[in-house]
């Protein structure tokens, strides 16, 4: 069945009073954004604490599976229900809708039996493998003449008749719950597809992601966006030491993250001049740390311009020499804004699992060098001391301000 209505369920913890409206507006905006990426025309409505998506365009111009996939990327949603929406009818009319709904959703063929035979069939033993079910009616429209419990019983009985042997009632652990909601119209649904959870992007400010071509930073950005934070990103490359392909890979990764986070401003910074200056003047075992510190400073410039209040990196304790506690202390010192490191306690495999789940892994493992892999020392310091690092940076004193300014001024900003 190509469903034309989707009921969206969201977590309600901590969203009371005024926050609730903001939460719902942000969620509806993100749902609209997600749907703008798929073919078809949609209307997103908020009604009585619920959000619905209605397909308004023609039948052949949308694909319900694509709609589901897009909605599964909207943070804040905990469940997505494909719904059959029908006009309010008398109980027998709703019964017929329920039979049609079950037939189409579960690939069953209904039979129509004369009334006296039907009663006996309903009592017959179910086949092995019969689907157990329970009907749950909600009567939001109290004018409707039949109570919820009467509807449950009526629809239950008629489903048993329509699919003799194929269905059985189980009120405790049913395979399928058939929800019938009688409102201005009648909504029938049985599947609640899990959403990604989290908070709608836009409800928790904005942060600047240091996005490389690796596995970790796209995952880090995704995790922070999941908490409702809008993203922008900074990528450092070092042409001609790094290729156009390496840059394209980061643009591709930003696009993949943006499927969840919404639009991203990606600042592509030419880092070659700074890297060469560090390479020429500073001890080689400190290259990575010093480089990282300048990355933080530049990313913070963009954060300020973009209205962000924090930085995000994909660092995790001990993963490489530049991510020991001592190294993180040195890197952290370069930033004045808070640095969010959502992967800090993750093992590499945990990070890989998330990247596979969110669809960035295959792009991340493409073998194009980013700038850091080219200017790395054979034996980097693993326990850098901040005072020593700062003394090494003194050697850049006469050139660094100009280089930093130039790097920021000449950065290319790509709107993703």
Instruction: Give long-range contacts, CB 8 A cutoff, 24+ apart: 302-307.
Output: 302/208, 302/232, 302/234, 302/265, 302/267, 302/408, 302/411, 303/207, 303/208, 303/232, 303/337, 306/206, 306/208, 306/232, 306/265, 307/206
Does 322 sit near ligand ATP (CB under 6 A)?
A: yes
Cβ within 8 Å of residue 60, ≥6 positions away = none
214-231 burial: b if 16+ Cβ within 10 Å, else e: bbbbbbbbbbbbbbbbbb
Binding residue (CB under 6 A) for ligand ATP from 24, 97, 181, 216: 216
DSSP type of residue 228: T
Q: In this chain, which stretch among 60-68, 95-103, 167-175, 232-240 interacts with ligand ATP, using CB under 6 A?
A: 232-240
Q: In this chain, which stretch among 44-52, 213-221, 263-271, 346-354 interacts with Mg ion, using CB under 5 A?
A: 213-221
Helices and strands, counts by H and E, the chain: 15, 15
Which tokens hold the place of 104? Answer: 């189409």
Binding residue (CB under 6 A) for ligand ATP from 96, 132, 148, 319: 319
Does 301 sit near ligand ATP (CB under 6 A)?
A: no
Does 5 sit near Mg ion (CB under 5 A)?
A: no
203 contacts 228 by C-beta, under 8 angstroms: yes
Q: In this chain, which stretch among 9-17, 186-194, 260-268, 314-322 interacts with ligand ATP, using CB under 6 A?
A: 314-322
Does 212 sit near Mg ion (CB under 5 A)?
A: yes
Question: Closer CB to ligand ATP, residue 75 or residue 346?
Answer: 346
In whole angstroms, give the CA distance from residue 286 to residue 278: 9
In whole angstroms, give the CA distance from residue 348 to residue 154: 54
Binders of ligand ATP in range 166-195 (CB under 6 A): none
Q: In this chain, which stretch among 76-84, 148-156, 160-168, 320-328 interacts with ligand ATP, using CB under 6 A?
A: 320-328
Binding residue (CB under 6 A) for ligand ATP from 187, 235, 260, 340: 235
Does 211 sit near ligand ATP (CB under 6 A)?
A: yes
CB atoms within 10 A of CB 197: 13
Q: In this chain, which stretch among 183-191, 209-217, 303-311, 374-382 interacts with Mg ion, using CB under 5 A?
A: 209-217
Closest CA to 251 of 118, 87, 415, 402: 415
Which of ligand ATP, Mg ion, none does 210 bind, CB closer than 5 to 8 A by kind?
ligand ATP
Q: Which residues of this protein are in contact with Mg ion, per CB under 5 A?
A: 212, 214
Q: Which residues of this protein are in contact with ligand ATP, per CB under 6 A?
A: 210-212, 214-217, 234-236, 295, 313-315, 319-320, 322-323, 370-372
């Amino acid at each position: 069945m190509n469903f034309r209505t989707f009921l969206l369920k969201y977590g309600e913890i901590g969203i009371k009073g005024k926050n609730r409206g903001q939460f719902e507006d942000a969620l509806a905006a993100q749902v609209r954004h997600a749907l703008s990426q798929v073919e078809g025309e949609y209307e997103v409505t908020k009604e009585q604490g619920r959000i619905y998506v209605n397909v308004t365009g023609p039948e052949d111009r949308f694909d319900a599976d694509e709609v589901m996939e897009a909605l599964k990327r909207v943070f804040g949603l905990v469940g997505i229900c494909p719904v059959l929406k029908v006009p309010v009818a008398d109980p027998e009319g709703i019964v017929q809708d329920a039979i049609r709904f079950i037939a189409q959703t579960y690939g069953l063929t209904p039979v129509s039996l004369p009334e006296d035979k039907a009663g006996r069939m309903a009592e017959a033993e179910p086949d092995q493998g019969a689907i157990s079910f329970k009907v749950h009616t909600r009567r939001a429209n109290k004018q409707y003449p039949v109570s919820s419990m009467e509807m449950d019983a009526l629809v239950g009985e008629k489903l048993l008749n329509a699919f003799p042997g194929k269905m059985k009632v189980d009120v405790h652990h049913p395979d399928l719950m058939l929800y019938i909601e009688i409102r201005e119209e009648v909504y029938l649904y049985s599947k609640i597809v899990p959403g990604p959870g989290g908070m709608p992007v836009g409800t928790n400010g904005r942060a600047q992601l240091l996005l490389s071509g690796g596995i970790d930073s796209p995952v880090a950005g995704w995790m922070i966006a999941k908490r409702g934070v809008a993203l922008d990103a900074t990528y450092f490359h070092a042409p001609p030491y790094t290729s156009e392909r390496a840059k394209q890979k980061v643009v591709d990764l930003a696009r993949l993250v943006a499927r969840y986070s919404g639009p991203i401003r990606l600042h592509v910074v030419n880092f070659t001049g700074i890297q060469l200056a560090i390479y020429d003047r500073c001890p080689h075992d400190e290259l990575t740390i010093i480089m990282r510190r300048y990355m933080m400073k530049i990313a913070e410039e963009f954060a300020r311009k973009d209205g962000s209040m924090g930085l995000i990196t994909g660092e995790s304790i001990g993963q490489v020499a530049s991510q020991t506690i001592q190294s993180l202390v040195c890197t952290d010192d370069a930033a004045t804004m808070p640095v969010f490191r959502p992967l800090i306690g993750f093992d590499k495999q945990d990070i890989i699992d998330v990247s596979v789940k969110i669809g960035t892994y295959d792009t991340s493992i493409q073998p194009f060098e980013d700038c850091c892999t080219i200017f790395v020392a054979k034996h980097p310091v693993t326990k850098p001391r901040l005072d020593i690092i700062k003394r090494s940076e003194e050697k850049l004193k006469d050139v660094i301000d100009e280089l930093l300014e130039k790097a920021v001024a000449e950065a290319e900003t790509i709107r993703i």
